[in-house]
Structure 1
Amino acid sequence: MRHWAAVRPDAPACTALDSHGAELATLRYAELDARVRDTAVVLQQTTNPGDRAILMLPNGVDFVVAFFACAYAGLIAVPAPSPEGIHGGRRTLGRLAGIVKDADPVLLLTTAELADAPLAGELGGVEPVVVADVPAGLGELFRDPGVGAEATALLQYTSGSTNAPKGVVLSHGNVLANLSAIAVQTGAHRCTADEFVVVSWLPTFHDMGLAQILGALYNGGRVVLMPPMALLMRPFVWLEAVSRYRARVSSAPNFAFDLCADRVTAEQRAQLDLGSWGYALNGAEPVRYDTVARFTEAFAEAGFPAGGVRPCYGLAESVVYVTGARDPGDPPYLDIDAEALEQRDEIVPAAPGGPARRITACGRIPANVELTIADPATGAPAAAGQCGEIRVGGPSVSAGYWSQPEATAARFDGAVLRTGDIGFVHDGQLYVLGRRDDLIIIDGRNHYPTDVEATVAAAHPAIATHLVAAFLYGDRPQLGIVAETARAVKVTRDAPAEGSGAVGYADIVSAVRRAVAEEHQLHAGTVILLRPGALPRTTSGKVQRRRSRDLLPDGGPRAW
């Protein structure tokens, strides 16, 4: 920040948009640095280096100011769900209360609205600081605390897709090492700082959302932020911002690319110029090649480049990024023998006409990452041609979880992270199959839930794309399926009346059972259909299979 404030003081650093894409504010590097120093002085008056500060701010310039003010003052930043989430209900409040209890912060950096809200009092009485109200001109009093690379920069709370959120301890050195790898992956050396523009709707408290901010500023570029709901309510707003600001980088989970392919109209596409968007990073959940192909085809007429969608693999315990870069000529996917994988965990190229599974390539392993494929039980390197647990080491990897030694011991073997994800490396590229904990094992055959979920989503047009959860349940394990229906669909438990436009519940379930049986030779014990918006998901949009399983046996109040 200090470097670019000196070298590019008048260059735009951060821009905030509203949910319709209108520009709210822009800070140039000198202005951003000045506000950061002013805020850091306020923090230093009541804190000591190493204290924690919760950041509860919406996507916008105040979040960026608060995050860097913590770094300047030597505090540990703790990004947390924004005010919109707090107004959303008790579930979000419970998550926030858990983060506050775990992190034990001394300050809450927030908005005036939240500081005065009654719900804020339920978070433990942490002293609020309204970032927007910090007076200008205090920066001359700033004193550098001399924080080193080994000091903790932030606690990145995991999304909770598989279990309760935990605070990943990330040092300044961890973050810088990861940003260096991302800069290589996104070709920062092949463009000017003015051309390094990042557009993001992802929540700033999510690892991929925070990385987009830091990645832009690390390279002296510009980050354009918009509310997360903009994507869900108006997908075109995201793409229009990419087009208007000539973004080079904009990242999203798989579902966002599907949402755009489904809902952005031909008339809207005609208004876009996506030729600058060479790095549409796709991560945070398993990447399906059909999503990559659909999006690329849908927006080719808007200038979106072939190969622009770049599947990646990463996780909060390694800041965010592990793999994603590709060499020219690297294949985008691999078709493997489905039976060999299910029965023996073997990676064998699919025979022509035989049962196949297409796995998306998640890129090459950076020079500063040590990645191995290991036997999950013994930790020994997996045999050639076998899949195994992805294990990661290197300067980006965290030292563990905040104040949770047992959880740290379960996931970290010294400097090596046991990711819990299953995959393999082929010709230098990483291929990710899914999470070990989610594996569906029936009759001695391994089924990855993402494969079953894709089959369910394609079984009937009434089922929403990528809004399906497949899992085991019961004392005698059976396959359970919970699926959300598409927004325009009306489902009836009775026989649909002619001309009503409704779809019969039994017809959809029958189609699902038939497809799962044909594709996977599995019997679906229970199939539940939910109304739009009812399937449990994390803040980044990932389906929560464990919480979905809790909806059995009847789906709860939001089932059809």
Structure 2
Amino acid sequence: MVRTLVDLLTAHASQQPDRTAYRYLVTGDCDGEIQDISYGQLARRSQAISAWLQERGLAGSRAMLLYPPGLEFVPAFLGCLAAGVIAVPGVPPRGRSQNHRALIRMKRLIADADAKVILGGREVMGALGELAQHLPEMDGITCVTTEDIPGDAAGSWREPGLTADSVAFLQYTSGSTSAPRGVMVTHGNLVDNERVVTERMGHTPDTIAEYGHEMYVSWLPVYHDMGLIGPVLNTVYLGVTATLFSPLHFLQQPQRWLSAVTRYRPHTSGGPNFAYELCLKHATPGLLGELDLSSWRVAFNGAEPVRAATLRRFSETFGAAGFRREALYPCYGLAEATLMVTGGSVDAAPTLLDAGGSGPHAGAADAAAVGCGRPGPGLSVVIADPEGQEELPEGEVGEIWVGGASVAKGYWRNALATRETFRATLTGREGRFLRTGDLGFLRNGELFVTGRLKDLIVIDGRNHYPQDLELSAELSHPALRPGCTAAFSVDGAAEGEQPVVVAEVAPEMAGEAEKIADQVRSAIAEAHGLSARDVVLVHPGTILKTSSGKIQRRATRAAYLDGTLSVLGVPVQR
């Protein structure tokens, strides 16, 4: 029986030492510099780092991992696991250019995790040196450039005696609250969720053989659960090959993603909804003629609301390059459940429920509810009344609760939040459940996600989902960037709660700002019967989001009230 990913890596290194585990596109281009690492090399490098940590008595302590995109992160992460050290993936610093918000987050993570060691590359360690005066939390912490750990150190590695209940790593959620929460993912959680990903995404032995072990292409950041648990660690779980490149290279030229899929012909690749929108913006006839997306079987879409319009336009546009609608794969998950909870059926088109005849988007195909598939094996999903804590009948909207072996152990050093979130009980159901804070409903066993419990806008006793208002705003004018709008409510004193919409617009549209805002107001009034208190247009890239691309509505609301939004027409503060 497989206990840990360390066991699997050791087995793969023994059985197929020369097989490529990961290749990395250094420039983001398939014809540029390429680095790779085999399973034999990966195991030796991981064991060398592990031995270094073991020799210093760090088993059970926390190691912050600060690596830029590249291959160095993977052996460091696996080396921590192999040493019984709790890994803490983080966003690497950028020296003096590190912005204030990122620096504050790093300080909080170091302090909350009580990290004893920081692992990184030479450039990162140099940047940390520049930031040392701003990081008193680093006093007493050992900083290690893992490139300097000699390879022959692997000879002194010893198995750490892990159990399924041993904590493997802390996945810090990147919500809008000031206090970070580190999700304690155990080795048992990790192996179970890799099993879920494997089953739901159809990674069978026959499929792996059909694809010649080329299973993943990914640009997703490895410090976030979608990029880490999916493309990176599922690769080790299966013993296959993944092609990786930098998120920045994708954002600079989104077509690089599709070119890599064309070149390496993987079974699985994906990202949040905004990534598909970016590709659509660059879908020129010339690009379509260069692509061949016919091998793409699972184009997963998760981590933020999945838009029916995006799915429709992507399949229509890239159908000319061989992309099949059946490859579209909406899914749902969260760090507190390690990663994946539900996913669709491979080679089946996604389920879209048209807006009802009486809803705010009646008749609007773009507003269709998107099915996120069914629970993975061993997982249970129920829809509960968040107040009465009773299961709701199929079709009714309530809080999504999850049970199963993939549900994490709790929050690091936060017993109260752990009890509130991970220890829920349900009348008539055995066991404990994870309260996700997400709203949704079940239909024929399939999950449809409708929003966030705490983001609900309640005006005059009526519930309004912020993503509905955001969609209405984005459909009102083409200048509004898809997936870059935040809706929330503020107290208007005598008027009570009123909605505010903050939306990103290109700077060259500043002269049209008043007209665009008026159209947004009209759309909100017509679709929802609401009068917007304010419509604020801001510069691109300034809407606050989590590392996975989710809109941080509460943080945007706080910035609105503080007057710190980067408003269009006002010079951006650097």
Same-fold call, TM cutoff 0.5: yes
Distance in 2 separating the partners of 1:203 and 1:479: 33
Letter in 1 for 2:343: G
Distance 1:86 1:177, change over 3 A: farther
Among 471, 489, 498, the alignment partner of 1:478 is 498
Q: In structure 1, what is the Cα distance between the partners aligned to 2:215 and 2:524?
A: 43
* Larger helix proportion of the pair: 2
Matches within 5 A, 1:21-170: 21=29, 22-84=32-94, 87-117=97-127, 118-121=129-132, 122=135, 123-125=137-139, 126-161=141-176, 164-170=179-185
Residues 94, 124 of structure 2: 8 Å contact kept: no
Q: Which residue of 1 aligns with 2:3?
A: none
Per the TM alignment, residue 328 of structure 1 is displaced from its structure 2 partner at its CA by 6.9
Alignment of 1:377-416 (within 5 A): 377-413=387-423, 415-416=432-433
Conserved in 2, the CA contact under 8 Å of 1:208 and 1:251?
no
Quick check: 1:437 aligned with 2:454?
A: yes
Out of 294, 312, 336, the position equivalent to 2:313 is 294
Deviation at residue 192 of structure 1 after TM alignment: 2.3
Q: Identify if the C-alpha distance between structure 1 residues 339 and 410 changes in structure 2 by more than 3 Å, giving closer, same or farther.
A: farther
Deviation larger for 442-451 or 307-316: 442-451
Residue by residue, what CA displacement relative to the aligned partner does 1:475-512 show, whole Å, maximum 9, x if unpaired? 4210000000036x3312xxxxxxxxxxx221111110
Q: Does 1:247 align with 2:266?
A: yes
Tell me the C-alpha RMSD between the 2 structures.
2.2
> Gapped runs of 5+ residues in structure 1?
343-349, 493-503
Q: Partners of 1:199 and 1:543 in 2: how far apart?
A: 25
Structure 1: how far apart are the matches of 2:317 and 2:380?
37
Percent of aligned pairs sharing the same letter: 39
Aligned length in residues? 539
Distance 1:263 1:422, change over 3 A: same
- Residues 44 and 461 of structure 1: is their aligned pair in 2 closer, same or farther, counting only changes over 3 Å? same
Distance 1:145 1:192, change over 3 A: same
Residue of structure 2 aligned with 1:178, choices 190, 193, 200: 193
Change in Cα spacing, 1:161 to 1:431, as seen in structure 2 (3 Å) is: farther
Q: Deviations over 1:504-527 (max 9, x none)?
A: 221111110111111111111100
Aligned equivalent of 1:359, options 366, 369, 372: 369
| Cα distance between partner residues in 2 of 1:229 and 1:161 | 23
> Which secondary structure does the structure 1 equivalent of 2:175 belong to?
coil
**Quick check: 1:50–1:76 contact (8 Å CA) kept in 2?**
yes
Give, as a single letter, the amino acid of the residue that structure 2 aligns with 1:75. Answer: V
Question: What whole-Å deviation, never above 9, does each CA across 1:156-183 have from its counterpart, x for those lacking one?
Answer: 0012156643100000000110000100
CA deviation string 1:348-391 (max 9, x = no partner): xx99x699952100001122101111001011111343211100
Which of 182, 197, 204 does residue 222 from structure 2 map onto?
Answer: 204
2:330 matches 1:311? yes
- Find the counterpart in structure 2 of residue 218 from structure 1: 237
Contact 1:528–1:555 at 8 Å: present in 2 too? no
- Residue among 238, 242, 267 paired with 2:257: 238
Q: Assess if the C-alpha contact under 8 Å between 1:434 and 1:448 holds in 2.
A: yes
Change (3 A) 1:461 1:446: same
Q: Secondary structure at the match of 1:64?
A: helix
What pairs up with 1:379-528 in 2 under 5 angstroms? 379-413=389-423, 415-474=432-491, 475=493, 476-486=496-506, 489-492=508-511, 504-528=512-536
Q: 1:163 to 1:294 in 2, by over 3 A?
A: farther
State the distance in 2 between where 1:333 and 1:388 align: 19
Retained in 2: the 8 A contact 1:15–1:23?
no
Structure 2 runs not aligned, ≥5 long: 1-8, 425-431, 570-574
Q: Deviations over 1:126-161 (max 9, x none)?
A: 211112222111211111111111100000001215
Secondary structure of the equivalent of 1:421? strand
More displaced stretch, 127-136 vs 368-377? 127-136
Paired letter, 1:527 = V
Change (3 A) 1:175 1:87: farther
Show the counterpart of 2:339: 320
